A and B are shown apart, each in its own frame.
Chain A
Amino acid sequence: MRNESHRRVVITGLGAISPLGIGAEALWQGLREGRSGIGPLRHPDAARLKLKIAAQVPASFDPAANIDAHTLPLLDRTSAFALQSAREAINQSGIDFKHDDLGRRTAVVVGTGVGGENTQDEQSRRIYAENAQRAHPLTIVRLMTNASASHISIAYGLRGPSFAVASACASANHAIIQAAQMIRYGMADAAITGGTEACLTYGAIRAWEAMRILADDTCRPFSANRRGLVLGEGAAIFVLESLEHAQARGAVILAELAGSGMTADASDIVMPSADGAASAMSQALADAGLAPQDIDYINAHGTGTLANDSSETRAIHLAFGADASRLAVSSTKSMHGHALGASGALELVAVIGALRDNVVPPTANLDQADPACDLDYVPNTAREMPVRAVLSNSFAFGGLNAVLALTRAP
C-alpha cells in the first residue's frame, strides 16, 4: 500500500552529459543500442599511466557553447557538467521558477564523489611541481564540493535547501533521495537533483591504479571474464516535483519516484555485503508500496569487479526470493563506465527510458557465464518488454547503499 500521508514525487525533466554524448537522449539511445562509451584514455599524461581505457565525455564537449563567459571561469569541469545538464532538464520540464515565486520553494541537491578534482590536481601541480608562489584565486570556489549545487541555485534563483551529498559511488542516489524526501514532506515543491563527476586527473587515476580494480580490456559486468571497473565521468540532473504541482501546471510526467532505501553495511571499507544491499532494496520496495513481483527491471550497480557482481547477485536473491530469476537485471556501466558520484544519475536516465519505452538496456560485454552470477542480465542486446516498475541500485565504497524505486508516470 502506498503511504498516503506524504506527497508523491514525480520526475518532469532530465539532462545529461555522458560518454555516450551530450544530452539525456544521446545517453538513452546509446544504451538501448548497446553502444560503448569506453575508449582509449585521452589524457596529456596518458603515456605515463598504466590505465589505457576510460569512459570519457566526448572531446567535442565545449562548456563555452552553453555557459556564459562570466560564469565559465568559476567552474570546475564537474560544475560545468552539472550546470549544463541542469539547463537541459529545466528547459525540458518547462518549469518556471518565477511563477508564484517557486524559486523560494525549490531545493538543489547534487551528489558528487570528490567535487572539483581537476582544479585540485591542477593547483597541486602548480604549487608542488612547479613551485608556484600562489594558487589561482578561484581555486576554492571551483573545487568546493557544493559548487555544482550552488551554481544551479544561482543560475535559476532557487532559494530552498541547497547542498551537496557525498557518498562515493552512491552520491547521486543519496542526493536524489534527499531531494525527493524534501518534496515528500513539504519542505520544497520542486527540486533540481542528480549527480556529477569529473575526476580523471593524473593523481586520481594513479590512486585508482594502486587499488588494482581497474579493467584493462573493457567493462564486463556479471561475466566470468570480468577484470574490474572502467572509470567514467559525466553528469545527469533531474527536475523533481510533487505530483500535484506537476499536474497543476500541466507538466509532462516522465516517471514517479515512488520510494527509496538507504542502508550501511557497517562491515568492510571496500568489500560489499549482500545483506546491506538486500536491505536497501527491500526498504525501497516497502517505501514505494511495491511487492517483489511488481518489479520488472533492476538497473544494477554492476561495476564489473569480482566482488561487486557476485555480492549484488546474492543480494538480489535475498531481497526477491523466487522472483529474482524472473527479473531483468542489467548493468549499463558496461557502456557508460563508472562515473562514481554521477553513476546513479546516469543510470536513472536509463531507468526513465526503460519505463517510457518499455525497453530494458543490455549488459554489454557479457560473454562468459559465471556460476556466481546466475540472474537474467539481458546480455548484449536490449529487450523490448513491459516495464512497470524498477529498482536502481547504487553501492559505495564505505559500505553505503542507496536504492531508488520508480514506476511509470501516474
Chain B
Amino acid sequence: MTDSIQQPIFEMIAKQAKVDVGTITPESTLKDLGVASLDAIELIFDIEEHFNINFPDQQGANFDSDTAQSLVDAVHKALEQKAASGEGNA
C-alpha cells in the first residue's frame, strides 16, 4: 500500500527535479531538489491528477519547504477523506 503511493510520488518528484529516483529520500525537500515556484505547483498538479484527489489549498504556505514524505502523507490523507466521503471529491 505504502509503496503504491510512495513510489509514484517519488517518481513524479524525480521527473520534476530531473534527478534519478534513487536520490529521493523521505526527508528531501522540494527546495533541496531544486523544485521551486511553478515547478512545485506543477508537481502538485501531477500528483492530484495521478491519484484523482484535491489537495486543500494552502495559500501562504510554501510548497518549496515540503518534504517528499509530507507529500506522501498528504496523499494518504486525501485518499482517506475521499474514501470516507464515498465518492470522488471533485
Contacts and interface: CB of A to CB of B under 8 A. Distances in A.
Contacts of B45: 210
A50 B57 contact: yes
A212 B37 contact: no
A214 B59 contact: yes
B12 interface: no
Interface string B25-48: 000000000001110010011000
Given A213-B59, A306-B62, 14 more contacts: A210-B41, A211-B41, A212-B41, A212-B57, A212-B59, A214-B57, A215-B59, A216-B59, A270-B37, A270-B38, A271-B36, A271-B37, A306-B59, A306-B60
A228 B57 CA distance: 11
Nearest to A215: B59
A358 interface: no
B58 interface: yes
Interface string A280-317: 00000000000000000000000000100000000000
B62 A212 contact: no
B56 to A, nearest CB: 10
A266 interface: no
Contact of B60 (A210, A227, A271): A227
B60 A216 contact: no
Contact of A269 (B38, B44, B58, B62): B38
A130 interface: no
B47 to A, nearest CB: 13
Interface residues of A, number: 17
A92 interface: no
Contacts of A306: 59-60, 62
A270 B44 CA distance: 17
A268 interface: yes
Given A210-B41, A212-B44, A268-B37, A228 B58 contact: no
Nearest to B60: A227
Interface in A196-214: 210-214
Contacts of A211: 41
Nearest to A306: B60
A306 B60 CA distance: 6
A50 B58 CA distance: 13
A223 to B, nearest CB: 10
A227 B37 CA distance: 16
A227 B41 contact: no
Contacts of B38: 269-270
Given A210-B45, A269-B38, A271-B37, A225 B57 contact: no
A151 interface: no
